[in-house]
Amino acid sequence: MAMIEILQRISDTIWEIPVSYKQGMRVPARIYGTEKIIQELDEAVYDQVTNVATLPGITKYALCMPDGHFGYGFPIGGVAAMDVEQGGVISPGGIGFDINCGMRLVVTNLTYDEVKPHIKKLVDRLYERVPAGVGSTGFVKLSRHEFRKVVEEGAQWCIRNGYGWEEDLQLIEENGCIAGADSAKISEKAIDRGVNQIGTLGSGNHYLEIQIARPENIFDRELAKSLGITIPNQVVVMFHCGSRGFGHQVATDYLQIFLKVMESKYGIKILDRELACAPFHSPEGQAYFAAMKCGINMSFANRQVILHRIREVFSEILKKSPEDLDMHMVYDVAHNTAKLERHIVDGKERSLLVHRKGATRAFAPGMEDLPKQYKNIGQPIIIGGSMETGSYLLVGVNSGEQTFFSTAHGSGRTMSRAKARKIYRGDKLQKEMESRGIYVRSTSYSGLAEEAGGAYKNIDDVIEAAELAGISKRVVKLTPIGNIKG
């Protein structure tokens, strides 16, 4: 039987799998998407999201966002909120190996016409200054002791050491440093893998992109203005990266620990070992929570140093200071995290550990933890598309409570990297993109082929589904003119 026949249609964009579908499900599973997205969904996602629905302490629903696709443990695009006072667990498979891979967006006061003559020089210089690819190392040289400070202090360490502006901190989730990170809970191997990677992009779907906010792509002009999009054909810079090998090692270390204690010590049985977990309030759960926060902070620091390098490059090429170029941040959003948040469930406020695996926090207007300039409009949400199609800037909405104020994080893959390499040629793709006005640099042609636009869902379809479902609101689409791929 095709899975779509099992789904209960709640609305045009919400589809539910009942608890009767699989033994052990504690809550229904909900998948967000238009009928087109659902028809094209990898059936493995159904198995994963219903496995998530069996985890102890899960509240209300196991969720999958419109960009959902197969991942490790949770589907990518998976969201689950665990009641930590009712035996809720924490699971690395619900957070991801690249802890806090996230997005940052920076505006300028430049127009496309002003930047077009310099685009190749800008991209080439950025390619030199922001190392990309597997094993790349950054220019910030740290001792192991200093690196421990970085993972406990995040972007705050960077600002104190001259890598950015004080105002940047107000525009990062958690003000650039999530409290409770404890470097005593991370392994020496994790430090080995992370100590030289501050200020680097990494590989896969991580990128740095110069984009344009074209007038015809602005959906709400007043909101766009509030977010810093104020002139026609304005040039902005967006990038996506995370905690690199450091976060991967943190996740690997604790997956092994959880697999040893999960059943023998806590009596937790799961349907998929990739969902290895521990009670949140257990010693192992708390140790991982503190170590995972180190991954969050490492990633905030990584993106902060990259922003510093971007400002340097624009200043050098355009012969103006970053201040004169108005290179202010819009926001920095995190994916791949688990955070303690207060949410109203069935009329009662509860303390929930919200896992967002390849999903973005999307707080509504008036909610705590928003910067003061966004209190009235909601949290900025930065969603990256493929390097060929463009990306989006959105805001959170009040009806987002249905997903614990979470939304999509990107386009979502439709094919494996291996399949993409068979279908696309990186050298040909690079030439085609340049003929369409997108100058791209990559560390390898095979890596470029993996990231072809055709390997992803249509970003417009994903964003439309998220807006129709009432979990975020479109503000502006941003189209690429220059791209650096890991």
* Known binding positions for Mn(2+): 98, 206, 240, 335
Contact 238, 306 (CB under 8 A): no
As annotated, the binding site includes 98, 205-209, 240, 335-336, 384-387, 391, 409-412, 485
Contact 244, 193 (CB under 8 A): yes
418: tokens are 């291996």
Contact 79, 30 (CB under 8 A): no
Helix (H) or strand (E) holding 155: helix 155-160
Rounded Cα distance, 245 and 98, in Å = 8
Q: At what angle do helices 283-318 and 244-266 cross, to 10 degrees?
A: 170
409 assigned to active site: yes
486: tokens are 């890991």
Rounded Cα distance, 19 and 26, in Å = 7
Q: Are strands 337-345 and 58-69 parallel, antiparallel or unpaired?
A: unpaired
Rounded Cα distance, 259 and 218, in Å = 48
String of b and e for 42-61 (b: at least 16 CB within 10 Å)? beebbebbbbbbbbbbbbbb
Task: Kindly compute the dihedral angle of the four CA atoms of residues 374, 379, 380, 382, in this order, to the nearest 10 degrees.
Answer: 160
Which entry of 69, 248, 308, 409 is annotated as an active-site residue?
409
Question: Could you give the C-alpha distances from 86 to 143, 202, 259, 279, 386, in angstroms and in order?
Answer: 42, 38, 21, 10, 40
Name residue, tokens 């100058």.
439
As annotated, the binding site for GMP includes 205-209, 335-336, 384-387, 391, 409-412, 485
Contact 480, 52 (CB under 8 A): no
Detail the DSSP E strand segments found in 256-402.
Answer: 278-279, 329-334, 337-345, 348-357, 360-361, 380-383, 391-395
Cα 181–175–96 angle (5° rounding)? Answer: 50
Cα 343–64–4 angle (5° rounding)? Answer: 135
Residue type, 17: I
Helix (H) or strand (E) holding 298: helix 283-318
Rounded Cα distance, 123 and 472, in Å = 31
189: tokens are 């191997």
End-to-end CA distance of the chain: 40
Contact 113, 305 (CB under 8 A): no
Annotated active-site positions, please?
409
